[in-house]
């Protein structure tokens, strides 16, 4: 028997990967599954970015690079963040990581002591709670409510602050709800952070994917906040680069040095040719990104209207990311029960709202990063299963 360290009991997981495995197992048995569970664009990485990576391979970017990132990549990221957030960021503020996820883990490891409280959105990306728990911190869930369009209620934040509160995590646009924070919400949270000497981990990975003329606003842009904010961002979602493992954090230099030290102790550095492609992503043409976002927009309308026409479902219209989080309490099923039924009987893979925390009960998360045709088919199948009719043609069962 392997002795397992006690801390492993405190480590959570991301259910999306487990459901994907379950769905693949059903596919292996011949069942046709529509994948609406995984949070990644279905588009291919834009050709100019792939070309830049190929060129970088030919140019010899196949070796270890500096732990914090290649200087030219850190510079391109610093310029991009300075431009898009209206602040001054230097390359020394940037740490490039294999995906944006390590920034969460590294920053929490570097800043949170045992017993420190961290306020985080719930429902929210499950790794926040997992990482806080793992380092011995106290996760303090901040409820996001449907009736408030899944925005943060500022009074809730105020009520959750204690002398032990060290950090607040924000995520806008948000996974899993697609909700966004308005500039007034962000300014109010900044005021609380300044008053209570809090760090803010601002997960802005979906900030380019917004609809209805909404514009992103970073808490780092509020005067006085840049010194206490860690911006988490990356290439996975905006540029359809999930498999490249390419993300970064922007933070005060003192913390960037500590995060770099954690990188030296774990991954060493981010792949060098990926970082050369990152420069092209930030500086090259943006037509592909814009096309992708306009297609997401069309799919959002289809899925929101489709769910609102299904009895037992009620679906808000999110302003960002590529997720919807319909309320399914009218079906009389729990989130887990319904997610299982939809996978097994409708061949539609989605996630239970509870995969994103306790306040996710009564909801399901669907990613609409899939074709209009597949979304339409999924909606039809779900409607049939809920009416007790067979949904998947016998031939593919």
Site of interaction with ligand PLP (CB under 6 A): 39, 99-101, 125, 171, 175, 203, 205, 234, 236, 242, 247
Determine contact, residues 288/140, Cβ cutoff 8 Å.
no
- Tokens (6 digits) for 358: 């306790």
CA distances from 197 to 13, 167, 201, 237 (A): 30, 9, 13, 32
Determine contact, residues 82/227, Cβ cutoff 8 Å.
no
Nearer to ligand PLP, 260 or 367 (CB): 367
Nearer to ligand PLP, 101 or 208 (CB): 101
Helix, strand, or coil here: 293? Answer: helix
- Gap between the Cα atoms of 82 and 102, Å rounded: 22
Compute the least distance from the CB of residue 245 to ligand PLP, in Å: 7
Nearer to ligand PLP, 135 or 205 (CB): 205
Nearer to ligand PLP, 38 or 310 (CB): 38
Nearer to ligand PLP, 61 or 128 (CB): 128
Nearer to ligand PLP, 100 or 348 (CB): 100
Name the residue whose CB lies closest to ligand PLP: 99
Compute the least distance from the CB of residue 148 to ligand PLP, in Å: 19
CA distances from 212 to 60, 134, 300 (A): 43, 38, 11
- Gap between the Cα atoms of 172 and 152, Å rounded: 10
Nearer to ligand PLP, 175 or 272 (CB): 175
Compute the least distance from the CB of residue 242 to ligand PLP, in Å: 5
- Gap between the Cα atoms of 239 and 289, Å rounded: 6
Determine contact, residues 123/176, Cβ cutoff 8 Å.
yes
Compute the least distance from the CB of residue 103 to ligand PLP, in Å: 8
Nearer to ligand PLP, 16 or 310 (CB): 16
- Gap between the Cα atoms of 367 and 300, Å rounded: 9
Compute the least distance from the CB of residue 85 to ligand PLP, in Å: 17
- Gap between the Cα atoms of 69 and 251, Å rounded: 14
Nearer to ligand PLP, 133 or 203 (CB): 203
Determine contact, residues 160/139, Cβ cutoff 8 Å.
no
Q: Which residue matches tokens 């887990």?
A: 336
DSSP 320: B
DSSP 245: -
Compute the least distance from the CB of residue 123 to ligand PLP, in Å: 11
Helix, strand, or coil here: 292? Answer: helix
Compute the least distance from the CB of residue 179 to ligand PLP, in Å: 12
Determine contact, residues 147/314, Cβ cutoff 8 Å.
no
Determine contact, residues 118/133, Cβ cutoff 8 Å.
no
- Gap between the Cα atoms of 397 and 389, Å rounded: 15
Compute the least distance from the CB of residue 172 to ligand PLP, in Å: 10
How far from the centroid of its chain's Cα atoms is residue 369's Cα? 13
Compute the least distance from the CB of residue 42 to ligand PLP, in Å: 14
- Secondary structure, 3-state, 327-363: ECHHHCCCHHHHHHHHHHHHCEECEEHHHHCHHHCCE
Compute the least distance from the CB of residue 175 to ligand PLP, in Å: 4
Nearer to ligand PLP, 85 or 245 (CB): 245
């Amino acid at each position: 028997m392997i002795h397992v360290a006690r801390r492993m009991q405190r480590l959570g997981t991301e259910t999306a990967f487990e459901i994907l495995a379950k769905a693949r197992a059903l596919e292996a048995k011949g069942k046709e599954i529509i994948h609406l569970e995984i949070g990644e664009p279905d588009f291919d990485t834009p050709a100019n970015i792939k070309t830049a990576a190929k060129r970088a391979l030919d140019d010899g970017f196949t070796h270890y690079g500096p732990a914090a990132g290649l200087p030219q990549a850190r510079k391109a990221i610093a310029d991009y963040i300075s431009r898009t957030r209206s602040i001054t960021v230097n390359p020394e503020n940037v740490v490039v990581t294999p995906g944006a996820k390590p920034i969460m883990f590294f920053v929490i490891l570097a800043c949170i002591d045992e017993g420190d409280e961290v306020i985080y959105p719930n429902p929210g990306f499950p790794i926040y709670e997992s990482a806080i728990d793992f380092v011995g911190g106290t996760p303090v869930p901040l409820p996001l409510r449907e009736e408030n369009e899944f925005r943060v209620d500022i009074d809730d934040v105020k009520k959750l602050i204690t002398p032990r509160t060290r950090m607040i995590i924000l995520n806008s646009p948000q996974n899993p709800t697609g909700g966004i924070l308005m500039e007034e919400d962000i300014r109010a949270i900044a005021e609380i952070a300044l008053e209570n000497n809090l760090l803010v981990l601002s997960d802005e990975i979906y900030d380019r994917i917004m609809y209805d003329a909404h514009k992103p606003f970073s808490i780092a842009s509020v005067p006085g906040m840049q010194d206490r904010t860690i911006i988490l961002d990356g290439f996975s979602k905006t540029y359809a680069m999930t498999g490249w493992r390419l993300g970064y954090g922007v933070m005060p230099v003192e913390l960037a040095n500590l995060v770099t030290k954690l990188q030296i102790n774990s991954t060493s550095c981010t792949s060098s040719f990926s970082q050369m492609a990152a420069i092209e992503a930030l500086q090259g043409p943006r037509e592909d990104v814009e096309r992708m976002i306009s297609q997401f927009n069309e799919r959002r309308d289809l899925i929101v209207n489709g769910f609102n026409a299904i009895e037992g479902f009620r679906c808000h219209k999110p302003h960002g990311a590529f997720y919807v989080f319909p309320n399914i309490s009218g079906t009389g099923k729990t989130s887990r029960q319904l997610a299982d039924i939809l996978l097994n009987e409708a061949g539609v893979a989605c996630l239970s709202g509870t995969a994103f925390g306790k306040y996710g009960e009564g909801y399901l998360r669907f990613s609409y990063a899939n074709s209009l045709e597949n979304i339409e088919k999924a909606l039809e199948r779900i409607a049939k299963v809920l009416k007790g009719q067979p949904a998947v043609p016998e031939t593919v069962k």
